[in-house]
Structure 1
């Protein structure tokens, strides 16, 4: 069954309740409702079950999963609400690891078991009741005697005031970010200097020790190679000396070969084989000379100097000991020296750096203070305009003795942010001379709903959820006041989807569509049903609301007058 489909739904694209399905909730056995844009009214006799409908919707929006809501004899109750999701919902879902495709409806389903426990789903993905409550803040505001969401929550008052007054906090947001960055840099620098000051004595000693050592990159490997070479030379020194004795000198092998060669030269012509022998001796002498040269080079390269070996070993042990002390590789000592020297230099120059950072913080704080103070002034001007706008709405709603104000108060320093330094809260005083207090503290159920309506009309398009529900906003009033309520609800419904539970014929007559909630008895079974009214049925229902149990022709005539276009 469709509710107020005749309105221009282009105004509501992506932001309203489109359907509600209820199964086995208290007296409701099975109910499927379709919704559209505009003002929808729900009426029925006292005790017909209007509250059950709201309780069911509240369940889908994360309300308490009380097993008492389950219809007697049934295993579970199920409520499914379908919305055209506003943009903010997608962010909430992503933050909770859920997704819906752009343009896809948001379907919230809640099950409550008769033996206790409940489950929740968002587009068939398991969800928590707390997530449903978070989503509800973007979807529906239910205003009734005990509701503490929407406009009654002071946490949203500042943003509502900013939206009403077209107050742009972007300069304050940027100034706050700059201030926070500057303060973080100063805090980090101070922490580094504090740490360095504690280590100053160690740093000075370490830098002096490393500077005196003067390690160089690659030095340890070079020393180790030279040390190994000299140690090898020490071991083969006697063998090299023995080789010299065999090859060189007057009694060495090369001397004897040369002597043999000179003798062979004198007799080589005597026989061909002697010439071959002479050639062989010449080759042996030549090879021996090469060996002699190579040995001479080896002796130079393997020169063994006991003092140099001791010096290299001492340097090598010193480098390795220093590396162990600082827990680095020997080749990293040179870079460590520079690092520690840099830390010491920064420490010595630290006070100057801190002073510069302090100056930066001071300048950033001045900029933020100026931006935040200007923001406060713009909010004060917007608050005065909002107070005046609400005041014009109070008298027609039979709240002429009440006063409304938008209270601005400075936040403590730890409450400052990119949104400024202000705490904003909507307050009322219901009687002359009475002090101002938060809405929920001093307003009765009917007064509270009318204050909310006055605020909503004043704020017009600014903030709020996609769908609003007023529960018996007309309680305790009639006549001109009820007509004023109906007029304002109709004006508000031009921009926001509204559902109103009402006992007032003046309010009911302003609805774009009308739902009747009624009980039906079938033997021992009682059921609550909801059905849309055709125009003639609507006239009869409004006449009943005017006259009571017996509907008179006079009541029907008055209903016709109420239903005439405004």
Structure 2
């Protein structure tokens, strides 16, 4: 149970440390004094997502801290600079884990819960709290199993969707693969053919250059050798006519010999005879590979092999998807059978419990001023779902008329009292916070509701925010919320009131700011009657 709450920079609260006690405590204050800050603090301490309206005005130290101290547990929430941190006993936890864990210790009721009571799922959730511990454990197992069932259904739907999508392409993939499987070549073979073509092109070019060079040097007509012969003849004639010997002829012979060596070297460079058939086959092979690439929409030969592999993978994936689909269908059917068994147990437990439950709620309603109220339960069969095989429906009539669904037949004040009656089935040894559960009631009815809160407080810690003096007077402890106006700011403070001050506070709740003697007497009677 809650022992202390510490709050820093939340709304108009700068720094408050409030101690709480067992039993029944009320929180009162004028409208706008800041009573809602307490609920906001509890919500933050339980891990609820923060709202901008929660935060205070300390812009220099924009850091909100809420700490909920229980007997053997501490929840701490720190918010600053758009960051949120949650701790349980100084160990960091996610908000989701925080919410789940703190819900074991706290139950908060607000006017929203009155609206929730009218929702279809509310009746089932609340009624199942009244089942035996054994059956509540079965309900928990059922919910866990149902989530597993939903997860399997989701995966199965994904597999079916993927399989249906792939099946639309299957025939085309098989057709393409069948054609591609007829393509038999390796990249090594392609590289060899390309080499032959490249080499043949080089050989042709080399032959042409060599033959042209030899023709210039030794061909018919004005070749280099022919011209050298002519020059040699002219030199010999010149020497004979002048009777003068020179070494020009020897030099010319050296040049002649060198030209002949060049011709010999060129002739050695001539390529061997080309295999025209081999070249043609290589060219045809390379052209065929190019046509295949165009046919299958790829750029390179390697991509042909990649596409073939992808087609094989796609068809193999279809087989795998079919196997996985069958596996998930089998698992889904198995989970469904398990769900049905647990749902049957829950159905039997609900059928046995419903009349007793309805009788207890009807009795509480009559105690709280609805003397002719009729409260019944209807177990409405549904297809197996998160509730089981039926959904609970609360039926109500305030005046012994024909019962109807609670959402249509109960007023706001009646809903408030029915909601309070249902709280008896919430866990003991927890802290229950009521944020104006008394909306729509007053006078004697409020007093009767206060008695019911007092009974709940026998084995729970009850903290109620109220505007009603009858409820305020019934509590063992009384906290007031005050808005204090300082020189340059306004802050909210909480403090306990006792004795004469408490009498005056209750009297103000009766008559307003101007307290009359009659209101004081009435407040004293209320507090004396309740023994406070």
1:55-81 alpha-carbon deviations (Å, 9 max, x no partner): x666x79xxxxxxxxxxxxxxxxxx96
2:498 matched to 1:534?
yes
Post-superposition offset of 1:228: 0.5
2:196 matched to 1:226?
yes
Q: Name 1:475's counterpart in structure 2.
A: 442
Q: Name 1:497's counterpart in structure 2.
A: 463
Q: Name 2:372's counterpart in structure 1.
A: 401
2:159 matched to 1:185?
yes
Secondary structure class of the residue paired with 1:454: helix
Q: Tell me: CA distance 1:214–1:515, structure 2 relative to 1, closer, same or farther (3 Å).
A: same
Give yes or no for contact 1:142–1:149 (8 Å, CA) kept in 2.
no
Q: Tell me: CA distance 1:441–1:379, structure 2 relative to 1, closer, same or farther (3 Å).
A: same
Distance 1:373 1:208 in 2: 51
Distance 1:123 1:391 in 2: 48
Q: Tell me: CA distance 1:159–1:221, structure 2 relative to 1, closer, same or farther (3 Å).
A: farther
Give yes or no for contact 1:472–1:503 (8 Å, CA) kept in 2.
no
Aligned ranges 1:436-451 → 2 under 5 Å: 436-438=404-406, 440-451=407-418
Q: Tell me: CA distance 1:150–1:487, structure 2 relative to 1, closer, same or farther (3 Å).
A: same
Give yes or no for contact 1:151–1:464 (8 Å, CA) kept in 2.
no
Post-superposition offset of 1:229: 0.6
1:465-494 alpha-carbon deviations (Å, 9 max, x no partner): 8553324565252598356335236448x3
Give yes or no for contact 1:216–1:331 (8 Å, CA) kept in 2.
no
Give yes or no for contact 1:160–1:463 (8 Å, CA) kept in 2.
no
Post-superposition offset of 1:221: 3.4
Post-superposition offset of 1:512: 0.9
Give yes or no for contact 1:224–1:316 (8 Å, CA) kept in 2.
yes
Q: TM-score, normalised by structure 2?
A: 0.61
Post-superposition offset of 1:18: 11
Give yes or no for contact 1:503–1:545 (8 Å, CA) kept in 2.
yes
Q: Tell me: CA distance 1:176–1:499, structure 2 relative to 1, closer, same or farther (3 Å).
A: same
Secondary structure class of the residue paired with 2:435: strand
2:474 matched to 1:509?
yes
Post-superposition offset of 1:316: 0.7
Post-superposition offset of 1:325: 2.6
Post-superposition offset of 1:173: 1.6
Secondary structure class of the residue paired with 1:231: helix
Q: Tell me: CA distance 1:214–1:365, structure 2 relative to 1, closer, same or farther (3 Å).
A: same
Give yes or no for contact 2:114–2:419 (8 Å, CA) kept in 1.
no
Aligned ranges 1:425-436 → 2 under 5 Å: 426-436=394-404
2:66 alignment partner, one of 96, 105, 108: 105
Post-superposition offset of 1:380: 6.3
Aligned ranges 1:9-158 → 2 under 5 Å: 9-10=2-3, 21=12, 37=20, 39-41=24-26, 50=30, 52-53=31-32, 82-83=41-42, 85-89=44-48, 104-105=65-66, 141-143=109-111, 148-149=114-115, 151-155=117-121, 158=124
Q: Tell me: CA distance 1:164–1:309, structure 2 relative to 1, closer, same or farther (3 Å).
A: farther
Distance 2:10 2:316 in 1: 71
Q: Tell me: CA distance 1:465–1:299, structure 2 relative to 1, closer, same or farther (3 Å).
A: farther
Secondary structure class of the residue paired with 2:466: strand
Q: Tell me: CA distance 1:236–1:319, structure 2 relative to 1, closer, same or farther (3 Å).
A: same
Give yes or no for contact 1:140–1:469 (8 Å, CA) kept in 2.
no
2:346 matched to 1:378?
yes
1:386-430 alpha-carbon deviations (Å, 9 max, x no partner): 5455345333223353344555545668xx56x766655544333
Secondary structure class of the residue paired with 1:213: coil
Q: Name 2:451's counterpart in structure 1.
A: 484
Q: Tell me: CA distance 1:425–1:142, structure 2 relative to 1, closer, same or farther (3 Å).
A: same
Secondary structure class of the residue paired with 2:396: strand
Distance 1:410 1:377 in 2: 14
Distance 1:57 1:552 in 2: 24
1:294-347 alpha-carbon deviations (Å, 9 max, x no partner): 959x845xx522221111111111111221232322122233234335556777
Post-superposition offset of 1:460: 3.8
Distance 1:436 1:17 in 2: 48
Distance 1:391 1:430 in 2: 10
Post-superposition offset of 1:433: 4.6
Q: Tell me: CA distance 1:421–1:400, structure 2 relative to 1, closer, same or farther (3 Å).
A: same
Give yes or no for contact 1:179–1:368 (8 Å, CA) kept in 2.
no
Q: Tell me: CA distance 1:435–1:35, structure 2 relative to 1, closer, same or farther (3 Å).
A: farther
1:257-298 alpha-carbon deviations (Å, 9 max, x no partner): xxxxxxxxxxxxxxxxxxxxxxxxxxx9xxx9xx99x959x8
Q: Tell me: CA distance 1:489–1:517, structure 2 relative to 1, closer, same or farther (3 Å).
A: farther
Distance 1:208 1:436 in 2: 69
Distance 2:201 2:462 in 1: 95
Once the two structures are overlaid, the 10-residue window that deviates more, 540-549 or 467-476, is 540-549
Give yes or no for contact 1:517–1:530 (8 Å, CA) kept in 2.
yes
2:286 matched to 1:316?
yes
Q: Tell me: CA distance 1:390–1:512, structure 2 relative to 1, closer, same or farther (3 Å).
A: same
Q: Tell me: CA distance 1:81–1:553, structure 2 relative to 1, closer, same or farther (3 Å).
A: closer
